[in-house]
Structure 1
Amino acid sequence: MAQQSLPTDLPRPERLADAFRVYEVDTTPEDGVRYYGEPVTESQQVLRRVAPRFRKRGYRVRLQREMGEHVLVATERSLGVDGVPWTNVALALATLLSTLFAGSRWYGLSVVDDPAAILQAWPFAAAVLGILAVHEFGHYALSRYHEVQASLPYFIPLPLNVIGTLGAVIRMDDNIPDRRALFDIGVAGPLAGLAATIAVTAVGVSLDPIRVTGGVATQIELGYPLLIRGIAAILGEQVVYADPTLIPNPVVIGAWVGAFVTFLNLLPVGQLDGAHITRSLLGDRTATVQTAVPFALFALAGYLVVFESGRAAALWGFWGVLTLLLGRAGTATPLDETPLGPKRQAVGVLTLVLGLLCFVPVPIAITL
């Protein structure tokens, strides 16, 4: 057994024998430390037994199969940011540009005639990117708090789209220590994003609506969820006007993006926030909930075909297919399955209820 290159702060192979019988150890600068051996129990139980031993020494570990062999791969955990994250910066700038362009369409500006006019759409871009950034940094902050390795946010630009983005994500590449950490990380994003959405809505409905006579605003109808309508009503404002040439200030449309993204993120499937929350609350019973989600979305699409002339049916049909695929990817599994306390359970239920306030059956429809 080759152990001469094994770092002194890593567990010795014999210390893993209750879960993984090691017959060879290999160390490379690129791949970390690799323990070749045979599991003595199922894969998930192997990780639950050995990962805490690596974690307290500053390593994360994964179990994989290569060329017919089982391998425990241990790599050093890094909670900081090494150097300038150029990929994150480039994607953020690209998303800023794409949301500025999308906003210019809502304002009825022609960037073909006057390219500099795109800068006038900054309130819309600031609303969208602000909500997304607050959401993702909510995840990031709680990842750091629980010492779980996570990347900075990756914004996803979507040129020529009416909102200019597909949202943003962070990547967690670490073992989740327990249900509390999984819950806190999962719930922090939606709650932070909801707070930002409420603030942006309050600002947006207080601004003057705009008058449009052409362009995307006359071709698309947005359905505003109860969250946005309720805030507008509390402030004595409105988001739907009798005059068809009036639309809410595009800052409100930015809040609509935040609410829509929040609802989608709270679907309890795959690696979405809703799955992290429900997995923390329900444990393995989350699989039953996850199975029901695609069928609920397909049923919603069918309802819209029958009773709403098919408006938004394709959208929910697409998400039905997508949730089927996301469900196959699996959900994050914590190492420690100790149930959550009543306070976190209450926060989890409240978050899911607030997510329902972001739902509307027909969020967007083409009016041509």
Structure 2
Amino acid sequence: MEQVTSENFFSKARIHVLLFIATFLTTYYVNGLWYSVTIMTILLSHELGHFFMCRKYRVAATMPYFLPLPLPPFGTFGAVIKMKGLIPDKKALFDIGAAGPLMGLFFSIPAIIIGLNLSDVRPVPSDTSDYLGLGEPILFSCISKLIFGQLPDGMDIYLHPVAFAGWAGLFVTALNLLPIGQLDGGHIVYALLGKKSAIVYRIGIFIFCIIAILLYPGWMVFAILLLIFGFRHPAPIDEITHLDRKRKILGIILFIIFLTSFTPVPLKL
């Protein structure tokens, strides 16, 4: 067993800290301070949800790796943690998978509400060559209608950076909740259905590839990754013990969150 000293702890933590700083800088560079602080908070809360749930069930996991990208519109590829240990049972698998999206959503929705109240409603410009439209998932659309009502024709919401970060958080939540493979949604589906989840994975990948081909070619790279890695999920040690009723109900709620947070065409150039 390796002895953990302060020296090797800081040595291991260095890469996580450097990536965190780099991602803060790239998100700041792309969309400014308010966006950077908000999106970093959402991403960190998502990954810490997974991390602390792994600690609860004594599943070895790394600290979050942030992925910087100095390009618009997001300035980042998000963040990930790597689980190194075996998951003991379906209960632990469900809780680890669900904790990230729930924590991310916990910060994304207030960001959307606060950011929309700071946003402006303006006419859509006649020259739309530099105009970036965002797909509106049902949840985002409902919140915006509560704040602004029905917009007149020719008008649109120009999002404050905090609102855009909330939208991006919703986007990340939906992407992670795809019921496929080793995504968070894949963990949840496997915990609910066991080996039968393979059928759901195949249906999910097929639908996603159709969306990528017919509606939004920007999904193609992610669709290819799902085709390569999305069909299988490692089994927990205990596959016999089933989930309790509360987790089954939460699983249904998370599926509804996915449906109301996902947009097939996220960016409209």
Q: Pick the aligned partner of 2:61 from 150, 164, 168.
A: 150
1:83 match: 10
For residue 152 of structure 1, what is the amino acid of its counterpart?
A: M
SS at structure 1 position matched to 2:133:
strand
Distance, in Å, in 1 between the alignment partners of 2:156 and 2:254 is: 36
**Matched residue, 1:134:** 45
CA deviation digits over 1:19-74, x for unaligned, max 9? xxxxxxxxxxxxxxxxxxxxxxxxxxxxxxxxxxxxxxxxxxxxxxxxxxxxxxxx
Query: Does the residue aligned with 1:361 lie in a helix, a strand or coil?
Result: coil
After superposition, the C-alpha distances for 1:189-212 in whole angstroms (9 at most, x for unaligned) are 011111111111111011133879
**Whole-Å separation in 1 of the counterparts to 2:90 and 2:260:** 26
Aligned-residue offset at 1:246: 5.8
What do the CA deviations read for 1:321-343 (whole angstroms, capped 9, x no partner)?
22111225x32321011111111
Q: CA deviation at 1:244?
A: 6.1
| Greater per-residue strand proportion | 1
For residues 291 and 177 of structure 1, the distance between their equivalents in structure 2, rounded to whole angstroms, comes to: 25
Task: Give 1:260 deviation, angstroms.
Answer: 0.9
- In the TM superposition, what is the alpha-carbon distance from 1:172 to its structure 2 partner? 0.7
Choose the corresponding residue for 1:97, options 13, 22, 25: 25
| CA 245–203 in structure 1, closer or farther in 2 if over 3 Å, else same | closer
From 132, 143, 147, the equivalent of 1:220 is: 132
The number of residues matched between the two structures is 264
Partner of 2:236: 334
Q: Name the structure 1 match of 2:74.
A: 163
Q: 1:317 and 2:244 equivalent?
A: no
Q: CA deviation at 1:238?
A: 6.2
**How far apart, CA to CA, are the structure 1 residues paired with 2:151 and 2:21?**
32
Q: Partner amino acid for 1:165? A: T
Distance 1:322 1:77, change over 3 A: farther
| 8 A Cα contact 1:177 1:334, kept in partner | yes
- 2:99 and 2:29 map into 1 onto residues whose CA distance is 30
Corresponding residue to 1:193 among 80, 90, 104 = 104
CA-to-aligned-CA distance 1:104-129 (integer Å, 9 cap, x gap): xxxxxxxxxxxxxxxxx111111211
Q: Go from structure 1 to structure 2 and tell me whether the alpha carbon gap of 1:324 and 1:332 turns closer, same or farther (over 3 Å shift).
A: same
Greater helix proportion: 2
The answer as to 2:167 corresponding to 1:256 is: yes
Please, which of 136, 140, 143 is the counterpart of residue 231 of structure 1? 143
Q: Which amino acid aligns with 1:326?
A: F
User: 1:12-91 to 2 correspondence within 5 Å?
Assistant: 82-83=9-10, 85-91=13-19
Change (3 A) 1:76 1:275: farther
Q: Deviations over 1:106-159 (max 9, x none)?
A: xxxxxxxxxxxxxxx111111211111111111111111111111111110111
CA contact (8 A) 1:297 1:319 kept: no
Q: In the TM superposition, what whole-angstrom CA distance separates every residue of 1:63-118 from its partner, at most 9, and x where no partner exists? A: xxxxxxxxxxxx6698x993350000010011011101110xxxxxxxxxxxxxxx
Name the TM-score, length of structure 2 as normaliser.
Answer: 0.88
Percent identity of paired positions between Structure 1 and Structure 2: 38
- Aligned with 2:268: secondary structure? strand
Secondary structure at 2:230 match in 1: helix
Secondary structure at 2:62's aligned position in 1? coil
Change (3 A) 1:198 1:342: same
Compute the RMSD of aligned alpha carbons.
2.8
Contact 1:293 1:323 in 2 (8 A): no
1:198 and 1:247 mapped to 2: Cα distance? 18
1:208 paired residue number? 119
Q: 1:288 to 1:206 in 2, by over 3 A?
A: same
* Deviation of 1:241 (Å): 7.5
CA distance in 1, matches of 2:75, 2:153: 28
Alignment gaps of 5+ in structure 1: 1-74, 104-120, 305-312
Shift of 1:245: 8.2
Query: 1:244 & 1:217 partners in 2: Cα distance?
Result: 17
CA contact (8 A) 1:240 1:247 kept: no
Letter in 1 for 2:86: N
The alignment's TM-score, normalised by the length of structure 1, stands at 0.66
Would the aligned equivalents of 1:102 and 1:161 in 2 still touch at CA under 8 Å?
yes
* More relative contact order, 1 or 2 (CA 8 Å, 6+ apart): 2
Question: Is the counterpart of residue 275 in structure 1 residue 186 in structure 2?
Answer: yes
Whether the aligned pair in 1 keeps the contact of 2:132 and 2:268 (CA below 8 Å) is yes
Task: Give unpaired runs (5+ residues) of structure 2.
Answer: none
Give 1:318 deviation, angstroms. 3.1
The CA distance in 2 between the partners of 1:287 and 1:76, in whole Å, is 37
